[in-house]
Amino acid sequence: FPVTIRGAVLLEPQKAPFEKLVEKYSSFKRIKLINSAVAEKDGDVRLFVPSKKSSLQASLLVDHATRFGKKKSDIQEIWVKSISIPSLLSREGINNVDLLQIDTEGMDFEIIKWFFQAGIEPKCMNFESFHLSRDAKKMAEAFLIEKGYWFFETGQDTFAIKESLVRLA
């Protein structure tokens, strides 16, 4: 399917990883970097970091790290800025999404639903399904089928594409 890349928006709530994104992508004019977490509401949210410093395993879910063997006593709680999907779309002037890439340590399905609630149905999605609970994974699959997506798992992720874009040979 034809894709016109107008730009990309990357969000990272933690300071150190965000600074690495700035280092890597600040020269790309079409990439917008936002130091914020995606959440249900705008404001501030608690982020649970499974170490004394920033971590790629940080999550908005309090029990996320303990599901993967981290001790509760090692989990640091920090407050970060948050932005809702409707606010993000409005602020950045986004009215459609060709590719939605999500890696939010267990919040991926919630974020997908928030996009749909905001009227955005991406042509393609790739999200980290590995960290979803068994029930959330089943609900995500049923949701994708209901919304007309074909999907398959690629290791830790699920790739989904609108059925209307698939051409059968």
> Which pLDDT value is given to residue 147?
97
In this prediction the pTM is 0.87
What pLDDT, on a 0 to 100 scale, did the predictor assign at position 40? 93
pLDDT of residue 168: 72
Q: Write the CB contacts of 83 (distance below 8 Å, at least 6 apart in sequence).
A: 11, 34, 36, 37, 38, 39, 42, 91
* pLDDT for res 106: 80
Name the phi and psi angles at 9, rounded to 5: -125, 125
**How much is the pLDDT for 67?**
67
Per-residue pLDDT of the chain (169 residues; tens, 9 = 90+): 455 667 899 999 988 889 999 999 999 999 999 999 999 999 999 888 877 666 666 766 667 666 666 677 777 887 999 999 999 999 999 999 999 999 887 889 999 999 999 999 999 999 999 888 889 999 999 999 999 999 999 889 999 999 988 877 6
Question: Own/partner pairs for 47-54, CB < 8 Å, 24+ apart?
Answer: 47/13, 47/14, 47/77, 47/78, 47/79, 47/80, 48/75, 48/76, 48/77, 49/14, 49/75, 49/76, 49/77, 49/78, 50/74, 50/75, 50/76, 51/76, 52/76, 53/16, 54/14, 54/15, 54/16, 54/17
- Amino acid 69: pLDDT: 65
